[in-house]
Amino acid sequence: MEYLIRFSQSHETFRLPEIQALAELGGIDLKVLYYDPESPYCIVQLPAEEAARFLMSRSILAQSIHEHWGTGDNYEELHEDVKRRTSHLWSKYMQCSFKFSLDIFQGTRSNTNRREIMNSFAYLAFAGEIKMTNPDEEFIIFEHWDFQAVTRKLPAPLKVHFGRFIAKSVRDLIMTFDLKKRGYISTTSMDSELALISANMALAGPGKVFYDPFVGTGSFPVACAKFGALALGSDIDGRSIRGESEKKSLKGNFKQYGLEHLMGEMFASDLTHTPIRKARILDGIICDPPYGVREGLKVLGVRDPIKYGYVIEKGKEFYKNDDFVPPKKPYSFNAMLDDILQFATDRLVDNGRLSFWMPTANDADQAIDVPTHPCMAIVSVCVQVFNKWSRRLITYRRLPDSEIDTDALAQRQERVQANGVTADELNDFRRHYFNAFRTDSAVDQAPDDATPKISA
């Protein structure tokens, strides 16, 4: 059966990958029949209405789903399509209470026009009571108008659809988990919409174990726990986990939403010094690694262990103190990306997912390539565009060992990481960011105060 998904017109590159991820999570055979990123309407084929309801029980970017009764470039084509497709269904709804609605995207209709459009479906001959509140069935007419159709005074929409309402999505969760209502956040807390979407892309669900190695105030673990997963996390600075008090802490965030029973261990570590053993035990990894813009990237340790060995010895003595701040050394941005992929390779179950956010310049010459690993297959790359830079949500699937290219894996293990000392030498994105994403020749001629006025 065909169904029409009504998306929100936001984060367009995320919408279809989220629905496809949820179909995989639910073991649903989904086929996309019509999709246009410029339109909020998508037509898919699903095995049953229960599958449609499952997708909406998890989707953040969809608004609702409808049994698809017809589509046309105009109303004449739409009516012909409805009659051809669904005449055998009309008797099923003959005595139900019902109502008709219009969903108009980028256009408008007068009340007179609305009544005329609704009356044009009189051939359905429904005999039940018309109820505008809580009817048994709701039938919706969808109109997709061209951009600025009202100001351009366009006479007709680009495309029209008709369908029977099935279910709403859980998009209201965005407000439930809104950071403005959360007890404990920081400047780097991921907003609720993108955190929930990330959890969907990584297939978080009941009975699964998920981990965030850059946990901060816990936006991703909270989102994963909402969908039933046991959430683990770590951070290089344990103070972000402990917070200011029991309420204003990472644990307090879980308690705020009644999810403390799904909060696993939260501990201080980094990817290069982790207590998580190399065992294929994690179902998913979600993270937003630091971009190294506000300050250079760091890992635990000292730059010169021989010269500063006493710092390490002092750390062994005082590390249990609440006010202890472990020593850190510079870290390469590219090395961090490689370490994330290797960490996932060593610890994800077969077909487990890694979803992480990564910044890049919008200029093709300065863009950072999507990192790859022979053991990790790229599932999707979704982009959130800012001014001169963007960030991507990249999702990978851990390949079963039988599917791995062993030659490519051997070549990767022989690769040598580039060395550097300063924050800019270790992080191309940071260097481009503070050069306002200009080319090298333009940087030489630019004034000192020409840094971009954006935050990362």
**Residue pair 42/16 in contact by the 8 Å Cβ criterion:** yes
Q: What's the distance, CA 199 to chain centroid?
A: 7
Query: SS3 string of 268-333?
Result: ECECCECCCCCCCCEEEEEECCCCCCCCCCEEECCCCCCCCHHHHHHHHHHCCCCCCCCCEEECCH
Q: What's the distance, CA 445 to chain centroid?
A: 39
- Say whether 232 sits in a helix, a strand or coil: strand
Q: What's the distance, CA 421 to chain centroid?
A: 34
Dmax (CA) of the chain = 88
**Residue pair 141/100 in contact by the 8 Å Cβ criterion:** yes
Distance (Å, whole) CA 301 – CA 347: 23
Selection from 133, 141, 134 nearest residue 163 by Cα: 141
Selection from 233, 256, 245 nearest residue 183 by Cα: 256
Per-residue pLDDT of the chain (456 residues), as tens digits, is 999 999 999 999 999 999 999 999 999 999 999 999 999 999 999 999 999 999 999 999 999 999 999 999 999 999 999 999 999 999 999 999 999 999 999 999 999 999 999 999 999 999 999 999 999 999 999 999 999 999 999 999 999 999 999 999 999 999 999 999 999 999 889 999 999 999 999 999 999 999 999 999 999 999 999 999 999 999 988 889 999 998 999 999 999 999 999 999 999 898 888 999 999 999 999 999 987 666 678 888 888 878 877 887 888 888 778 777 778 888 888 889 999 999 999 999 999 999 999 988 777 666 778 999 999 999 999 999 988 888 999 999 999 999 999 888 888 877 645 444 444 444 555 555 546 556 555 544 544 444 444 433
Contacts of 373 (CB under 8 A, 6+ apart): 338, 341, 342, 344, 345, 396, 412
List of domains in the chain: 2-169 (3.30.2130.30), 176-297+332-433 (3.40.50.150)
- Say whether 156 sits in a helix, a strand or coil: coil
Distance (Å, whole) CA 182 – CA 257: 9
Beta strands (DSSP E) in 130-224 are: 137-144, 159-168, 209-212
**Residue pair 100/66 in contact by the 8 Å Cβ criterion:** no
Q: Which residues pair with 43 in a beta bridge?
A: 4, 34
**Residue pair 233/242 in contact by the 8 Å Cβ criterion:** no
| Long-range CB pairs of 70-78, under 8 A, 24+ apart, other chains included | 70/161, 70/162, 71/34, 71/43, 71/159, 71/160, 71/161, 71/162, 72/159, 72/160, 73/158, 73/159, 73/160, 74/156, 74/160, 75/117, 75/120, 75/160, 78/160, 78/161, 78/162
Contacts of 166 (CB under 8 A, 6+ apart): 3, 49, 52, 53, 56, 64, 65, 66, 67
Q: Which two tokens stand for residue 33?
A: 């029949």
Q: Which amino acid is at 102?
A: L
